[in-house]
Each structure stands twice: as structure tokens, then as C-alpha cells.
Structure 1
């Protein structure tokens, strides 16, 4: 919803993997980066990109971001360098790392 400005039901992606052509935001939809660029802003994407990567046109730069520092992986092991499996010890983070910021 954030990338397209539309409700997820209107994006009509399938529950396919992001490398699948139907698992990405459709190319005919203008995204957040394109709208910001029209207003004169420079755009940079940081973090997990789960809005498609089937072709270069589906990646952050293909969707209008000037630069990106992205994470294409889909594992949830954020506290170790092992993507699938690994240590359950999350150190100082209580409740599996789910914390309130305020």
C-alpha cells in the first residue's frame, strides 16, 4: 500500500514469490518514488524490498528510486547472519525482538 498508494486488493498481485512476474506491483502503476520525483525530490530506498524483482524494471531503481540499499532475501533471521535456521538466542532483545518504540 505504501509503494503504490493503493489498497493491496487493488494492486492485484498473487501470493507468488517476488521473482515471479505476478508477485510484483504491476508496471503500469505509478509508485511512491515516481510521485516524489515529479515533485522534485531525490529518492533512496533502504530495507527489505518485497514489491517484486522478476525483472530489473521491478526492482527499486526500475520503480523510480535513484539509489537503493535493499535486502532481497525473505528470511526473518534478523539477529544472525544465517537466513534460514540458526540460533534462537537473540541476545538482549526480549520477546523475540518485538519491542515498542514508545
Structure 2
């Protein structure tokens, strides 16, 4: 829950700036904070009331979030890798191209 409050606070801070990049990321950051907050509330209520249905919902939602983070990370590495998918004649192997 504290992480969600921090993310929501960061989204509010981003909305106060007049940079185009920060303005465009405000809504997704606030949405991410809201999703994290809802997931943590479901887990908290399931543990507090000893409700197994809420705990199962929490477990499934947390698993889906972890899979989404894994997919996003893999796609981010694929998109940002400069040397994948094409070759340039006459250029040697660049060992620094794999650093992000």
C-alpha cells in the first residue's frame, strides 16, 4: 500500500510539470498506482478477515502482474537492442551495443 501511495504521489508530481513527456505519462502512472493499491487492499482484507476467496484473488492478480512485468521487460530489451535484426557490412562487432 505504501508503494501505491508513493506511485500515486509521483504521478501527481508529474502532472504539475509542463514537460510534454511527463504530462503524457501522468495518467498511466496514476493508473498503475491505483491498480497496485487495489491489489494490496484485496490482499490486506483477505488476510485480515481470513477469507480464502480474497486471498486467491490476490494471488492470481499478483501472478498476472508478475507475468506482465516479465513480458514488458523482455519486450523492452527486444525493442531497445540496437544491434538486433540487421547487419552492417564492413563494421566489426561492437561490444558496447548490448549495454542499455
TM range, smaller chain: under 0.3
Q: Which has the higher helix share?
A: 2
Which structure has the larger Rg over C-alpha atoms? 2
How does the TM-score come out when normalised to structure 1?
Answer: 0.27
Q: Which has the higher strand share?
A: 1
How does the TM-score come out when normalised to structure 2?
Answer: 0.28
